[in-house]
Chains A and B, each alone.
Chain A
Amino acid sequence: MSIKSATYPNCPVFHTIDKSWRDDNGVTFTFAPEHESDGRIYVDGLVPYIRATAPAFLSQFTEEARNCHKNSHWDPKLNRYSQLTNWAYGITYTSMTNSISQMSQLHPV
């Protein structure tokens, strides 16, 4: 709730944060349309934001969420998170394995 808007510095991004109705797992965030882009960025990148600002509270998140954002980091200047996706490594890895398999086909031991 103390997260301030980038466009309106005196206003908090979120209007309310509460447990979802009839849902034990969900937490609903409400925000005015002026803060919609900021709000959605903060909710999407909540784990990297908390890791950058108050890492003690990371235990409040599910293991899955923490794993999912393992490679993400929060940029305080841009106020958004960036994700070092595995796809680059994935392509490198697959291309390497492909080339190895091709090589092994060309030069069978």
Chain B
Amino acid sequence: MDRTLSSLCNHNIGIYLKACDHKNTSDVGWLLYSARQQDEERPTHMLSSLTNEILGVKWKQVHTTEGFCKPSADDPKVKIFALHIEGPTDKAHDIQQKLPQWYSSSSTSFPDLTKMRLIPPFNTIISREHKANFATLTSHQEELTKRLATTTSWEFATNLLLDKPSPKKVHSDNYL
């Protein structure tokens, strides 16, 4: 226990919240063309309400079944990241069936107007052709994340709650 505490204090290890609070979770897939600048909470709520399941969305590395190899200086591996969706294991298949309505390669309208494509986990792909496409699509994702330009605006008001009428006033108006 003391060793764990000292490791936590020295930032040798960290505590990361799970994307979703299920006993057993499974990968649903990755949303390609997603950006690091996206707020993870918003797609989490949006996808959960669309599928009627509690999902977790986090910015994670796109994994394949190649296995973990210690990166070496001679052969640096390119890490490709995208928004990762996970959900309850018992309903993962249903979620994988539902999500392509909005994020398949043929869909043209997107729930929040952000164009993204869902790709399933690499180990669930059976077709060799699709496995080859997986590499192409992930390289597109890498290219996009490298090229995306950003700008930030601080002109939006965040204290809109203060602008609401006070409950007393509303109550008195109703009373009158």
Q: What is A's interface to B at a CB cutoff of 8 Å?
A: 1-2, 12, 15-16, 18-21, 23-33, 36, 39-40, 43, 46-47, 59-65
- Residues on B with C-beta less than 8 A from A1 are 112-114
Are A59 and B157 in touch, CB under 8 angstroms? yes
Is residue B39 contacting chain A, with contact meaning CB distance below 8 A?
yes
**Once the chains are docked, how many angstroms separate the CA of A28 from the CA of B155?**
11
Is residue B126 contacting chain A, with contact meaning CB distance below 8 A?
no
- Residues on A with C-beta less than 8 A from B42 are 18-19
- Residues on B with C-beta less than 8 A from A65 are 155
Q: What is B's interface to A at a CB cutoff of 8 Å?
A: 33-35, 37-39, 42, 112-115, 144, 147-158, 160, 163
Q: Closest A-chain residue to B37, C-beta based?
A: A28
- Residues on B with C-beta less than 8 A from A47 are 155
Pull 7 A–B residue pairs with CB atoms less than 8 Å apart, ordered by A: A15-B33, A15-B115, A15-B148, A25-B158, A26-B153, A29-B150, A61-B155
- Residues on B with C-beta less than 8 A from A63 are 157
Select B147's contact among A18, A26, A32, beta carbons within 8 Å.
A32
Q: Which of B37, B115, B151, B155 has the most CB of A within 10 A?
A: B155
